[in-house]
Structure 1
Amino acid sequence: MTAVPPTSHPATGELVVVTGMTGAGRSTAAKELEDLGFYVVDNLPPSLLRDVVRLVDESKGMGQPIAVVVDVRSGSFFGSLQANLAQGATGRRATLVFLDATDEILVRRQEAARRPHPLQGAGRLLDGLQREREVLGDLRSEADLVIDTSSLNVHQLTARIREAFGSPDASRLKVTVVSFGFKYGIPVDADFMADMRFLPNPHWIPELRPMTGRDSGVADFVRGQPGATEFLDGYVPVLAGVAEGYLREGKRFMRIAVGCTGGKHRSVAMAEEICRRMSDHGYDARTVHRDLGRE
């Protein structure tokens, strides 16, 4: 299975809709999109989406990429947003980006900014966040790209946006393979998750313990264990098959999480191999080792 090669600039006719939880980084994402050449409109009522696209098309041409930021202050307009995106009423390829974070992190950020939540009313900040999650639940489930910013700083979030929308390669599926340690928590923004704890742990082999899954000694050990090759031979074709379906449905992002106990040996080695095989299938694949060096 091979991905269709790119034929156009990624931003041509593109419409990116950024939404998500208050405090999750919408403003940071919007600023980076603006730096990437997008025409950015903040806090847009979704009912005006088609009007904005029409005006930009008339004034700047249909090749001008557009990004709009929609937040919970738009209230009942969210139904309009979903209708517009589902019907393709704008005439552009639309990508819905949802930014999220844990309640604990969002509360901390809002308190640091000394801002009340727009939905908290006379209640607590956490009450406002819970109401917001209820309002945005359907949008999150329909998003093309979900970014969990809980552990990301401003520069890391900027890099994620640039990685997604700054490449000159829009029609290829962007595949990110993330290694992680279960003891540090699972990535909540993954489309797929695989558990490598069925393989022997190199941590218990003294000469391999200080190494990581990026080192050939550990990588060879992990991939040489019974069941490792069988897993890869079965799992990667499934991922490639789903990736083809994503492309047919207009989705351009896939995030695969690969975990082990600490995120140092088995998950890293297997994530690198999955990435290599997905690249061989023709996808724009890369690895992120979330917990490497954390212990």
Structure 2
Amino acid sequence: MTNSSEPEANAGTTDRQRLLLLTGLSGAGKSTALDVLEDLGWETIDNFPVRMLKRLVARPGEEQGRLAIGFDSRTRGFVPADVIALAKELAGRDQLTTSFMFMDCADAELERRFNETRRRHPMAQGRPVLDGIAADRELLEPLRRWADIVIDTTALSSNDLQARIRELFGERDADGTTLTISSFGFARGMPPLADLVFDMRFLDNPHWAPGLRELTGRDAPVGAHIEQDPAFADAFARIRDLLLTLLPRYHAQGKSYVHVAFGCTGGRHRSVYTAECMAQALREQGFSPTVRHRNLASRAADELERRQAGVT
């Protein structure tokens, strides 16, 4: 993947409209790039008639924003020389910050993609796929040479490409991921939308400790009881370190929501304490989790607690 330059790709602007013109070889990833830009808050339009582009650009005094326009050989009025002339004109406007990005890919990989998806190449017109790719490349070569950002997707998976677009055009100071830490009781079912579930039933159960049954994981005596379990400290540290490894990767992949759930039998003691401790540990590392306790207000599932302990 090569980039001839990356002009202000991540820089935010408040008084100038950001305009991104996006083109590339068919099958190279233009649609994927536009989808990610839309997720990032850009207004996106694909295959918009080139001659009408000026009408979309904000005039002085109008509301500014971020606009990405995709076009290729199928776009009405598509003539590379005219596109370049129009882009130069727009780049000269004081109220605009303009970038031009080209999506490239090796011929063999493009052929594989078209054959794998059984899509017709728009420029093949009944000829072999490679003929269409060659014609497309020849037509678009002036735009590739002129582009200030070139992304070669030959060796990139869809997830890799999405991550690259976010790296280039996402706001640097945006958190981007909503993190929820929850507790629950297996006695009342698994949380259906949790991304990661940790079963804390291996810990000694405060339900059976004198004076602790009616308390919860938010009460100090319950926490002290759980921490006395020799398995707690090591298990907690391992889970914390795993989350510290995974959470940045989720963010890099553009995952908007991450839900980490801790379960125990009734959802009132072990899972609650672990969730509270984990949320605090993650806050100390710069995260801002929301904590939810699904079954904290529920009465303990006495029968199931009894069965787990082997009491008849």
Q: Normalization by structure 1: what TM-score?
A: 0.50
CA RMSD of aligned residues (A): 2.8
Number of aligned residue pairs? 162
The answer to whether 1:9 aligns with 2:12 is yes
Structure 2 Cα separation of the partners of residues 90 and 156 of structure 1:
33
Matching residue's letter, 1:79: A
Bigger-Rg structure (1/2): 2
Shift of 1:116: 1.1
Paired residues for 1:125-164 under 5 Å: 125-164=129-168
Give structure 2 stretches of 5+ with no counterpart: 1-7, 174-312
Structure 2 Cα separation of the partners of residues 85 and 135 of structure 1:
17
> Which is bigger in relative contact order (C-alpha 8 A, separation at least 6)?
1
Contact 2:103 2:151 in 1 (8 A): yes
Identity of aligned residues (%): 38
Give structure 1 stretches of 5+ with no counterpart: 170-295
Matching residue's letter, 1:37: G
CA pair 150-72 structure 1, distance change in 2 beyond 3 A: same
3-state SS of paired residue (1:130)? helix
The aligned residue for residue 296 of structure 2 is none
The answer to whether 1:46 aligns with 2:47 is no
Matching residue's letter, 1:73: R
Answer 1 or 2: which has greater helix percent. 1
The aligned residue for residue 231 of structure 1 is none
Matching residue's letter, 2:97: R
The aligned residue for residue 86 of structure 2 is 84
CA pair 35-107 structure 1, distance change in 2 beyond 3 A: same
The aligned residue for residue 101 of structure 2 is 97
Paired residues for 1:166-205 under 5 Å: 166-168=170-172
Structure 1 Cα separation of the partners of residues 92 and 34 of structure 2:
20
Structure 2 Cα separation of the partners of residues 38 and 129 of structure 1:
29
Q: Which runs of 4+ in 1 moved over 2 A?
A: 74-80, 88-91
Deviations 1:182-224 (A, max 9, x none): xxxxxxxxxxxxxxxxxxxxxxxxxxxxxxxxxxxxxxxxxxx
Q: Normalization by structure 2: what TM-score?
A: 0.48
Structure 2 Cα separation of the partners of residues 90 and 36 of structure 1:
26
Shift of 1:89: 6.2
Could you tell me which of 123, 128, 148 is aligned with 1:124? 128
Structure 2 Cα separation of the partners of residues 76 and 10 of structure 1:
30
Structure 1 Cα separation of the partners of residues 31 and 13 of structure 2:
22
3-state SS of paired residue (1:73)? coil
The aligned residue for residue 292 of structure 1 is none
The aligned residue for residue 33 of structure 2 is 29
Structure 1 Cα separation of the partners of residues 26 and 13 of structure 2:
28
Shift of 1:79: 2.7
